[in-house]
Structure 1
Amino acid sequence: MPDTETGLADRPPLVLSERDNVAVLAARAEAGSDPLELGAPLSAAVAPGHKIARRPIGIGEPVVKYGQVIGYATAPIAAGEHVHSHNCEIGEHERAYRISDKLAEARAAIPRLNDGDIAGSFLGYQRADGRAGTRNMIALVATVNCSATVVRRAADILNASGMLDDWPNIDGVVAFAHGTGCGMASNGPGWEILQRVLWGHATHPNVGAAVFVGLGCEVMQVARMKALYSDGAETRFHGLAIQENGGTRATIERIVETVRELLPEVNRTARRPTPVSALKLGLQCGGSDGWSGITANPALGIACDLLVAQGATVVLSETPEIFGAEQLLLSRAASQEVADRLIERIRWWEDYAAKNGASLDQNPSPGNKAGGLTTILEKSLGAVAKAGATPLNEVVGYGEQVKGPGLVFMDTPGYDPVSATGQIAGGCQLVAFTTGRGSAFGSKPAPTLKIATSDRLYRAMREDMDVNAGDVLETGVSLAEKGREIHDRLIAAASGEQTKSEALGLGDHEFVPWQIGAVL
């Protein structure tokens, strides 16, 4: 991929706040050039999205971007010098939290929409429990790794058979296979998480019927899940055990026949106009770069505010990747209880990382750093931007059902498939995924809409990217315009428009429940 954007070669470095002592390069700066015209030529080329100093920064002084501290200088930094991991590190960040001190501003940030400003509805599959789906799928849910191959083969047979062609209201058969379900404690957090995830996917509003498939002797038993979570809708679910159905081949055949019998009933549900308030959107970012917090993430944040204004729910997650920027969420917490829950989760993660020989400041990844992100503080500030500016109303555990409305935080790891699996288990019917380095992510049964941070990425991965946010820089499209475009694309996807990840068949291998606890 070329290093420069076609319309940015002559654009000066970006200053995002007057408080900033760094500027962000809009285009590649060659060795010997002086992008800020400070009489300080660069000793080596610097890639777009990276930072250069606007003025001298002494050892130990804060490095400021977005008007926020993103790290501290580990060496004297001259005006005009490249600022990155060779001379900047995280240090200590602000922990004197100011709870709800910007709650009034957050409430005022909810857009006031007039009649006709926005559609206000999507075409959804309305369920008997009052929820609505954006897809109508049949789920084959493995309770244990022993049945993973069985559900995958059965799904492949069904989707390739042409059997679904006569049922236009059914969007496919999906297999939820994983690598656990046995060899684990029969209680505790690992067991609870897997139960929530499996039940959350089987009962998801995008699922019209589900077939649980186990070996028969595993720790994760369907009957126990039903006893804990059942809402009396057992008729939607069917259970099979390989040990009781004649083995692998016979069980696959039984699954195929079971689904064949379910098709008429699942197909009876058709798309109908549904209020946008029924939507729950999972927010993800992966392969972030120096543009993520400038283009795609804040534009997605504006789209989220528009959704919240209509009564919808947006779900931010990835606790290790908001580390350092948690104050931005705590300052708009709807209550002390909500704030305390988020602080408790941050502290849990610090302890969890330390017990496993890691620390939260070891993020960002090598790819993030190549894209211009230096510290987790910088990455987190950009990541939080995708959640918009409205109040934080709720904090939930991994895979727990999200109530909403408004902005909700779900405690998850930063690993995208694990994080999105938890959001979908919690009821999210769509996922919005921003990326700067590029991503081949997809998800089922909730489709993913991917948003590129730059023109360069959008051109390079056009078949994977649904929305180009690079034109915010390239051609001067406003963040408000781009946020509205993302909002409209999300509503179209909710109404059945196929996303790029769906067209490519992605999402079958991104079901990854968080494995935590002892393997026995």
Structure 2
Amino acid sequence: MSSPTLATPGSATAHAVIRLHPNDDVVIATRQLVSGTRIDAEDLVVSGLIPPGHKIATRAITKGEPVKRYNQIIGVARENIARGQHVHVQNLGMADFSRDHAFGVDQHPTAYTGEPAHFMGIRRDDGRVATRNYIGVLTSVNCSATVARAIADHFRRDVHPEALADFPNVDGVIALTHGLGCGIDMQGEGIRILRRTLAGYAMHPNFASVLFVGLGCETNQIGGVLEAGGLRDDKPRLRSFTIQDSGGTRKTIEHGIAMVREMLVDANRATREPLPASHIVVGLQCGGSDGYSGISANPVLGAAVDRLVQNGGTAILSETPEVYGAEHLLTRRAVSREVGEKLLARIAWWQDYCERNGAALDNNPSAGNKVGGLTTILEKSLGAVAKGGTTNLVEVYEYAQPVTAKGFVFMDSPGYDPMSATGQVASGANLICFTTGRGSAYGCAPSPSLKLATNTPLWERQEDDMDINCGGVIDGTASINELGEAVFRMMLDCASGKPSKSELHGYGQNEFVPWQVGVVT
């Protein structure tokens, strides 16, 4: 996506609107516009109140006609729309139209950098590279969640600073619990996804060691999780036990604390060293999107992703329901028809999944998205795919499947951010970048999460939670390219150990949400 064009400087309404493409039927308001406001750059007079981030018709549109933004169809007019009118849910609806998937027509050689950028990473004994150094307490079932939290809480620096005083190289002990593990089919897709997710976390490089705690009689036995991931109890890297075998809650907590104390000695030996950026794997997320997301933060992140890929790194785009309607832009970048067809197969799975459950893929955007200016899932998706930059789509993965390819890839997931990012981390993401226009508060332990604000008012209101302001693209004070470079440098700094805002606030443990599919009995 090219940089947006702003209203002509010097006019009474300079920077009042953004036109994204000459063929678009709408422009985007950069601030609230009242009826009668003249937009000189468009020779347009506003009719009615236009909130910031919302769309204004630049031509008369007849009922049933397609409406374009990004030079792509975002819906059809539900009624006649006059020039200058607000275009939103009251007069724009979903469109059903064919898309030209044109597999691979836009793929091109990646311009790799001669000397890759470096960051200060942690190299594990088996060659895996970490951006953080945690000890993890994982659970096989909801029944062991309470004891897992109690074990981890014993080592909280804010409550018991003495517990980790002798282990300065350890970032912390964290418990990742969930509400699953029983009442599910022992052979079904649901338990396969859960086990794949837990195994992915158990082998994640950001964990120096992992302690698995179960109840003992659950459907999701710890042995099944380890087998699914090709893992085994391996002191001190991976330990496991159950409440029933330990003799109850109190003894389980005491036993777990003792095990973690043993793990801390080995974990504290970890040190950082200069490593190439090719070891960074970034999960791309957007949440609380608004009308600016596809104009500022998402393409800014895309520019940073291009730099990461050019340095040999990997970026994972997900949230399949939120690329629906824009999937043709990704298939055009696929390195092969096979890769493109994999993406379409995941879209087809979601269409069938929604139909079976009486839902629809166009049930998006959310209420907050609509307040921010987004009208249809087509519009939201077209902005969301900008996070993936412009390099080739090299592979498509299922949820929590280990990502082994280098470059820009796609991992199937729901659009629900914690669930999607959980899958990305299970797949190997050691960093998350999260764009937001409404102000999402989010973290994703054990991988740090950087948050990109789409607009300056959000940044000023919620700077406490945001890591960078991309609103300069809207204000006309910064370019996508400039901010893309800044975000790439921020990735390197964060991967080197500089804490993100969400880490400073302690986000991350409650956002572990494995995807639940299938029948619960």
TM bucket, shorter chain? over 0.9
Mapped contact 1:38–1:80 kept (Cα < 8 A): no
Does 2:101 match 1:97? yes
**Is the alpha carbon distance of 1:239 and 1:37 closer, same or farther for their aligned partners in structure 2, counting shifts above 3 Å?**
closer
Contact 1:323 1:380 in 2 (8 A): yes
How do 1:35-54 and structure 2 match up within 5 A? Answer: 35=39, 41-54=45-58
Structure 1 position 62 matched with structure 2 position 66: yes
Match of 2:128 in 1: 131
**Which residue does 1:470 correspond to in 2?**
471
User: How much has 1:41 moved relative to structure 2?
Assistant: 5.0
Q: Does 1:145 align with 2:132?
A: no
Percent identity, aligned pairs only? 48
What residue in structure 1 maps to residue 432 of structure 2?
A: 431
1:495 correspondence with 2:492: no
- Cα distance in 2 for partners of 1:357, 1:198 equals 29
**Paired residue for 1:4?**
none
Q: For residue 3 of structure 1, what is the aligned residue in structure 2? A: none
Structure 2: gaps (5+ residues): 1-9
Comparing 216-225 and 177-186, the one that deviates more: 216-225
**Shift, 1:86, TM fit:** 0.8
Distance 2:510 2:39 in 1: 44
Residues 1:123 and 1:38: Cα distance change in structure 2 (over 3 Å):
closer
CA distance in 2, matches of 1:274, 1:40: 54
Task: Out of 322-331 and 349-358, give the one that drifted further.
Answer: 349-358
CA displacement at 1:223 relative to structure 2: 1.7
Residue 32 of structure 1 deviates from its aligned partner by 3.5
CA distance in 2, matches of 1:456, 1:494: 28
Calculate the aligned-residue CA RMSD, in Å: 1.7
Paired amino acid for 1:197: T
- The DSSP-based 3-state class of the residue aligned with 1:200 is helix
- Could you tell me which residue of structure 2 aligns to residue 122 of structure 1? 119
Who is 1:16 aligned against?
20
Deviations 1:129-176 (A, max 9, x none): 322000010000011000011111211111132211211211001101
Question: What letter is aligned with 1:153?
Answer: A
Give the distance between the partners of 1:391 and 1:362, measured in 2 at CA.
29
Counterpart residue type for residue 73 of structure 2: V
Report SS of the residue matched to 1:438: coil
> 1:414-444 CA deviation, whole Å, 9 max, x = no partner?
0000000000000000000000011111110
Structure 1 residues 70-112: Cα deviation after superposition (integer angstroms, max 9, x where no partner): 11111111111111111111111333421111113xx3xx345
TM-score (norm 1): 0.95
CA pair 37-423 structure 1, distance change in 2 beyond 3 A = closer
Contact (CA 8 Å) 2:13, 2:38: kept in 1 or not?
no
Whole-angstrom distance in 2 between the partners of 1:66 and 1:511: 34
Counterpart Cα distance in 2 of 1:36 and 1:155: 60
> Following the alignment from structure 1 to structure 2, what is the Cα–Cα distance between the partners of residues 10 and 101?
38
> Which residue identity is paired with 1:305?
D
Letter in 1 for 2:147: V
Match of 2:5 in 1: none
Indicate if the aligned counterparts of 2:67 and 2:73 stay in contact, CA closer than 8 A.
yes
**Secondary structure of the corresponding residue to residue 358 of structure 1:** coil
The residue aligned with 1:205 is 205
Distance 1:125 1:188 in 2: 37
Give, in whole Å, the separation in 2 of the partners of 1:210 and 1:296. Answer: 35
Counterpart CA distance in 1 for 2:130 and 2:43 is 59
Counterpart amino acid of residue 66 in structure 1: Y
Q: TM-score, normalised by structure 2?
A: 0.94
Match of 1:77 among 52, 58, 81: 81
User: Equivalents in 2 of 1:9, 1:273: separation in Å?
Assistant: 49
Residue in structure 2 matched with residue 229 of structure 1 by the alignment: 229
Mapping of 1:146-185 within 5 angstroms? Answer: 146-159=143-156, 160-161=159-160, 162-185=162-185
Letter in 1 for 2:29: L
8 Å Cα contact 2:15-2:475 kept in structure 1: no
Distance 1:40 1:227, change over 3 A: closer
Aligned residues between the structures: 507
How big is each residue's C-alpha offset from its partner over 1:246-275, in whole Å with a ceiling of 9 and x where there is no partner? 211111111111111111111112111111
Q: What does residue 214 of structure 1 align with?
A: 214
1:447-486 matches, within 5 Å, as 447-486=448-487
Within-5 A mapping of 1:309-324: 309-324=310-325
Name the residue aligned to 2:6.
none
Q: Does the 8 Å contact 2:232/2:238 carry over to 1?
A: no
Give the 4+ runs in structure 1 shifted more than 6 A.
37-40
- Could you tell me which residue of structure 2 aligns to residue 239 of structure 1? 240
Runs of 5+ in structure 1 lacking a partner?
Answer: 1-6
Answer whether contact 2:216 2:244 (CA < 8 A) is retained: yes
